[in-house]
Amino acid sequence: MLSAITSLQLINRNIAQSKATVAADPTVARETAYYQANISAIKTSADFVDDYRVFSYAMNAYGLGDMIYAKAFMRHVLDGGVAHANSMANQLSDPRFKAFAAAFDFGDKGAAATAGAAAAQAVTDRYIEQTLEDNTGQQNQGAQLALYFQRQAPHIKSGMDILADKALSQFVQTAFNIPVSASASIDSQAAYIESKVHIADLQDPAKVAALVSRFAVMWDLQNNIAVAANPSLSLLSASSPASSGFSTDLLNQIQLLHSHI
């Protein structure tokens, strides 16, 4: 199995080509063509959920593939829209539902909900990204989590946003070796996360990349990925910090974290 670090390097080396390869897959291309040809003809949430191929494509694009069966529930989410604070999409803690309702806003836009770019090309782009992440996860779940965090990072506004998303929570818990605590209050957990992850830094691609690298190292350590299969992990056993290219402080931090695993 490829390490998380190696998988990420292979994908991020040319992310555009990685996405193009996914888009060119015959199954993906066929479903994308069907979706793009039919989405604009859908005018109600009922029509939406009744077209299985269009609905499942859209749901998978937002990481909601396991909820495709819940048609009545999803109609309530869609028909409630996102404009009102008490709508179902805004009340649910999982941010995927709000993002989905914003893209297909039948509640606030009616028949025009499928006319804009958010319901056409933007969904196709998300489907390609989601499929790339899912395919990556078949080889290494850590790399999948890292790609997801990489995509979501600019949209994170608080520690609470991280807590509300299981994948983001797992990413941060792994990156900083944070134990799962059932006793601490939600507010306390969110504050602690914000003490570790500077939310403003998530707007900086270089800082996001550094955090993703930290996560990948920790994931491989925690999952006992062999050092020989992951050159980055061999740095942890280097006799001289200077020879590794990492600062003594960074190596000490990683080694300290490793000692608590």
Write out the two tokens for 87. 């709508």
What are the residue ranges spanned by the domains of the chain? 4-124, 141-259
CA-nearest of 55, 109, 50 to 83 is 109
Topology given in CATH for the domain delimited by 4-124: AGR_C_984p-like (1.10.3700)
Residue 239 pLDDT exceeds 50: no
Residue 211 pLDDT exceeds 50: yes
According to the model, what pLDDT value does residue 116 have?
Answer: 76
Residue 156 has phi, psi (to 5 degrees) of -80, 125
- Residue carrying structure tokens 């494509």: 57
Q: Check if CATH label 2.40.10.10 holds for domain 141-259.
A: no
CB-CB contact of 225 with 4 (8 Å):
yes
Residue 90 pLDDT exceeds 70: yes
Taking the C-alpha atoms of residue 161 and residue 156, their distance in angstroms, rounded to an integer, is 6
CB-CB contact of 95 with 161 (8 Å):
yes
Write out the two tokens for 154. 């600019």
Residue 1 pLDDT exceeds 90: no
- Please tell me if the domain spanning 4-124 has the same topology as the one spanning 141-259: yes
Helix (H, G, I), strand (E, B) or coil at 86: coil
Q: What is the pLDDT of residues 128-185, one digit of tens each?
A: 999 999 999 998 999 999 999 999 999 999 999 999 899 999 999 999 998 876 667 8
